[in-house]
Structure 1
Amino acid sequence: MSAENQDSSSLFSVERWKSAYYGWYLVPVYGVVMLVATTPLFHAMGIWAVAMERAFGWNRTQLSLALSFTRVEGGILGPIEGYLIDKFGTRRMVLIGMLIMGAGWVLFSRINHLFVFYAAYLVIALGQGLGSWLALNTMLNNWFVRRRSFAMGASNSFSRLGSLFLVPVLAWLVDPDIPHRLGWSLTALILGGITIAVAFPLTRLLRNRPEDYGLLPDGDTHEDLVRRSREADERGETLESGPDFTVSQALRSRAFWFISLGHGFTSMVLLAFMLHLAPMMTDQNYSLQTASFVVSAYTAVSMVFQLIGGYVGDRIPKNVALMMFTMCQAAGVFYLTFGPPTLVTAYGFALLFGIGFGGRNPISSSIRGDYFGRQHYGKIMGISQVPMNVLLLIGPVFAGYMRDSTGTYTVAFAVLGALAVVGGFCFLMATKPRSPDQDRVSSIS
């Protein structure tokens, strides 16, 4: 018997938690793993950038390259990560990923040279790629079909709730302008220890597929399926089990490429702002703590709109919903770029950006499950990261280079806002492809 099929007396057994569908227990676990894996690395990256700039004098382009190197790594390893997740399951990959992340934060605490900074970021990003977003979304894609967008939105809201408090705490701990704080080195070392310590208990709660435990997606029973099939027959319809595209079939669909490009354009904007928002505000003579509050503000808004986006994505065409939320994200970028450099503008940006980013985030993952199915989701998502990461590696470096060259972020942010609009139209063009079964029926007839 595998480690995942433990006896019912175990605290971590699915049998012990069957009073409710176990998929819903996975939602907060997903949120906690994502909090540990992504908040210090991505949502707080602007805080680390300010600390590194003050400690070593590196410019914005040099700092941005660290993030771009991680995207090169992600583009190369994305298909491999997807294959490993489909082959070995979410639990094993999350455990391995979190242990690698912990080691990366320990290395980060020993930074004494620019190349050590790059190496530490690459190690952390490798662990994050193996053990967070792709692996966890693959798991939820297996456990939910009809409630897929809402489940992904709820899980991300849990992680945003933690980020809401963690980002200001990290800013307080590493602020280089205030003496007698822990500083960036000791804070990174503590993060590494925490990541390693929580890896084992968290991953014990993860489960790959409901069918492994005699369950069905969404908590349905066989009686539910019979009833829904009968109701569909009465309406003259058929009850679809959902598509299951192979990797090659997905790659031949235009929807795969439009989704990948839309996700890439909108995420390159997000990554650029995660890195450069705090440095931009310190350029405007705001404190690092004030900048962290603005980050927390858009995090709080996105937390709410993860749920709203998940709800909307289960009820209207997902490509339309993605376009709507992406335009809101772009509006926030333009408002910050061309508005006066005041806190009112910063918090207005946080509102619009949080609505757009939060709303589109669960849908951009669930749309692939709806379009391409469950069986090869990890591989398809992994390959999708190749064109996405090509775009992601450009955004932060472009913004840093333009800031170093012109002294402001105006040109960079205006271009990134325009690219977000392009991403919105890419999403709109990503209409649902015909399933392989439909194509076979058409060819026979």
Structure 2
Amino acid sequence: MSSRTLPQRLPVYYGWVNVFMAAVAMIATFPGRTFGLGMIQKKLLEDLRISELEFTGINLQSSLLGALFCLPMGYLIDRFGVRIVSAFVIGALGLSVLGMTQIQGPTSLLLALILIRGLGQTSLSIVSMAMIGKWFRRRLGIATGVYTVLLTFGFISTIVGIGSAVARFDGWRTPWSAVGWGLLGLAPFTLLLVRNTPESCGIEPDAPVPPPVPEPGVAAHRDYTVFEALATPAFWVFVLGTSAFNLVFSAMTLLNESIMGENGFSQNDSMIVMAYLTGVGLLANFFAGAIARRHRLGALLGFGLAIMAASLACFPMIRSHGALWVYSAAFGFVGGFVTVVHFVAWGNFFGRSHIGRIQGVAQVVSVFASATGPEMMAWCRERTGSYHPILYVFAGAAAINAVAAFLVPTPRLIPAAEPDPTVLDPVPGDTPVSPYLQPTPASAAAQE
């Protein structure tokens, strides 16, 4: 008799271990994110003797080129599984961060940032989301809520820890080197704990069990391929809606102090705003994760985008601290809702079999939006002398997308009788199984 695997021996569903590791992986994207690089930006510019304007241009180029890492990442996840891919990406990111500590000028900085942005902000984000999507269907909303809560505390702890290290050392290279070595140490730990799918571990997936006697005329269903998902209106409404939030959020957080200053608020006020965003966003994560269901996602996204549109339209008129706190709470609420929808939608709508590539396409649009948001805000300020005009444009776009989210139909379930035109050879230990079909004894025995 073969020995039971670790996931089979645990008294709880192993998907929750993947949720924890998914949060760890997303936190590990820190060096490739705008706020992560922002913590060393001042010392980096002084060290390399480059201007802020030149650095902004390098950052934009690296973000856009790094977004291209999305294209093969979805295929690699679906082909080789999240276990191997996550360990590889984290290790490669660690080496890239260590390599960045050796740069001497703008050219080497651009090359280093392309790798760090591509492996961190782009690739590892996709891997992190796939770790959950491959394991959850029925409780995906709850799993995502737990995941986002872990992210909140994890990112706060990371920011405090790295921030203290950067302040303690004269330069940026020593603390940045510590980040790189930490990532290299995390890679084998990821390989040890992460698992590809429930089927690969010989356990039942987290999905609704079909009724013992199917209703007459009701057929089983299969998962969407990436091209079938791209052909649905829901995919583009949700991609554009969540990306619109990322565009605005990246701009409002990167330029937070300057934007608040235009309305007469201080640096301390801008820090309190960020605290409100985080705290209210955490509560919204709980609420949205608890109620997120396949048929409710359009309403959740539409509701969040409607609040965002109202918040952006009202912001230019805000002058009192009371109104600023209300705005901050509203925007944090939007962030909590949209974050959960972004993580939950793809698996709920399109199934688990091709989720890596589907999320990869969505991430390309998301990263592009995040990269261009600050540039659009800065361009508006340079041309008009104010950030306010572009906020009205953002508000109008969010309102249109909110209406679309309320009206877009939920993608239909594809009958299993319709052939899958892009079936891949199954990965050992990662056989795609529709959440509406149970693995056969033969397939279960062939797993890990």
Q: Equivalents in 1 of 2:165, 2:325: separation in Å?
A: 23
Matched, 1:375 2:358: no
Deviation track 1:162-186 (CA, whole Å, cap 9, x = no partner) reads 22333344445446xxxx6555333
Q: Give the AA of the match of 1:81.
A: M
Match of 2:131 in 1: 139
Matched, 1:79 2:57: no
Match of 2:254 in 1: 275
Q: TM-score, normalised by structure 2?
A: 0.80
Give matches, 1:197-276, under 5 Å: 197-218=185-206, 225=209, 229-230=211-212, 243-276=222-255
Is the 2:222–2:414 Cα contact (8 Å) retained in structure 1?
A: yes
Query: Aligned pair in 2 of structure 1 residues 102, 408: CA closer, same or farther (>3 Å)?
Result: farther
What's the CA shift for 1:360?
Answer: 1.5
Give matches, 1:22-421, under 5 Å: 22-38=14-30, 41-49=33-41, 56=49, 58-59=51-52, 62-110=54-102, 112-128=104-120, 131-174=123-166, 181-218=169-206, 225=209, 229-230=211-212, 243-278=222-257, 280=259, 286=266, 291=270, 294-314=273-293, 317-340=296-319, 347-421=325-399
Query: Aligned pair in 2 of structure 1 residues 272, 22: CA closer, same or farther (>3 Å)?
Result: same
What's the CA shift for 1:334?
Answer: 4.1
Q: Give the AA of the match of 1:399.
A: M
Q: Equivalents in 2 of 1:379, 1:280: separation in Å?
A: 36
Q: Give the AA of the match of 2:298.
A: N
Deviation track 1:38-72 (CA, whole Å, cap 9, x = no partner) reads 4772444544455556765634x544444433442
Q: Does the residue aligned with 2:129 lie in a helix, a strand or coil?
A: helix
Q: Equivalents in 2 of 1:352, 1:302: separation in Å?
A: 9
Q: Which moved more, 1:387-396 or 1:198-207?
A: 387-396
Is the 1:23–1:144 Cα contact (8 Å) retained in structure 2?
A: yes
Match of 2:414 in 1: 436
Is the 2:23–2:148 Cα contact (8 Å) retained in structure 1?
A: yes
Query: Aligned pair in 2 of structure 1 residues 65, 431: CA closer, same or farther (>3 Å)?
Result: farther
Q: Does the residue aligned with 1:163 lie in a helix, a strand or coil?
A: helix
Uncovered stretches (5+) of structure 1, i.e. residues with no partner: 1-5
CA RMSD between the two structures: 3.5
Is the 1:272–1:399 Cα contact (8 Å) retained in structure 2?
A: yes
Deviation track 1:328-372 (CA, whole Å, cap 9, x = no partner) reads 3344444544422x7656544432222111112122232121221
Identity across matched positions, percent:
21
Is the 2:74–2:360 Cα contact (8 Å) retained in structure 1?
A: yes
Q: Which moved more, 1:109-118 or 1:392-401?
A: 109-118
Q: Give the AA of the match of 1:167.
A: I
Is the 1:268–1:391 Cα contact (8 Å) retained in structure 2?
A: yes
Q: Equivalents in 2 of 1:129, 1:239: separation in Å?
A: 42
Q: Equivalents in 2 of 1:195, 1:349: separation in Å?
A: 37
Is the 2:32–2:120 Cα contact (8 Å) retained in structure 1?
A: no
Q: Which has the higher helix share?
A: 1
Is the 1:36–1:195 Cα contact (8 Å) retained in structure 2?
A: yes
What's the CA shift for 1:275?
Answer: 2.3
Q: Give the AA of the match of 1:277.
A: N
Count of residues paired in the alignment: 416
Q: Does the residue aligned with 1:143 lie in a helix, a strand or coil?
A: coil
Q: Which moved more, 1:32-41 or 1:120-129?
A: 32-41
Q: Which moved more, 1:411-420 or 1:247-256?
A: 411-420
Q: Equivalents in 1 of 2:31, 2:218: separation in Å?
A: 40
Q: Equivalents in 2 of 1:145, 1:238: separation in Å?
A: 24
Q: TM-score, normalised by structure 1?
A: 0.80
What's the CA shift for 1:119?
Answer: 2.7
Query: Aligned pair in 2 of structure 1 residues 263, 420: CA closer, same or farther (>3 Å)?
Result: same
Q: Which moved more, 1:77-86 or 1:265-274?
A: 265-274
Q: Equivalents in 2 of 1:411, 1:242: separation in Å?
A: 48
Q: Does the residue aligned with 1:194 lie in a helix, a strand or coil?
A: helix
Match of 2:435 in 1: none
Q: Equivalents in 2 of 1:346, 1:48: separation in Å?
A: 29
Deviation track 1:232-275 (CA, whole Å, cap 9, x = no partner) reads 86xx6888865411222222222222222222222211222332
Is the 1:250–1:372 Cα contact (8 Å) retained in structure 2?
A: yes
Is the 1:335–1:345 Cα contact (8 Å) retained in structure 2?
A: no
- One of 427, 437, 442 as aligned partner of 2:405: 427
Uncovered stretches (5+) of structure 2, i.e. residues with no partner: 420-448
Match of 1:3 in 2: none
Query: Aligned pair in 2 of structure 1 residues 210, 277: CA closer, same or farther (>3 Å)?
Result: same
Q: Equivalents in 1 of 2:115, 2:279: separation in Å?
A: 29
Q: Equivalents in 1 of 2:221, 2:335: separation in Å?
A: 27
What's the CA shift for 1:401?
Answer: 2.8
What's the CA shift for 1:286?
Answer: 4.7
